[in-house]
Amino acid sequence: MQPDEIKSLIEGQIPDSTVEVAFEGSHLMVTVVSSAFEGLSRLKKQQLVYAALGEKIADGTLHAVQMQTLTPEEASR
């Protein structure tokens, strides 16, 4: 799976998101910045990202996902 495909999956599910994707071996690292994360716990933010990637995780295409989830305010610090 290509980084652009992952970026599109997440941006398609999380409103107003900006996504950066990197692979390190078989490990996927994503940084997602979105105003949709305002007021959510870290767990809830991660659940939104996992929901966007759920099908690819379930079928084994993706595994070992590391993520950073930030609001625009958090990202600007």
In this structure, what are the phi and psi dihedrals at residue 74, rounded to the nearest 5 degrees? -65, -40
Q: What is the pLDDT of residue 16?
A: 93
Q: What is the pLDDT of residue 27?
A: 81
Q: What is the pLDDT of residue 57?
A: 87
Exposure class string for 29-43: b at 16+ Cβ within 10 A, else e: ebebbbebbeeeeee
List alpha helices for the chain, DSSP H. Answer: 3-13, 42-58, 72-75
Q: What is the pLDDT of residue 36?
A: 96
Sites in the chain below the pLDDT cut of 50:
none
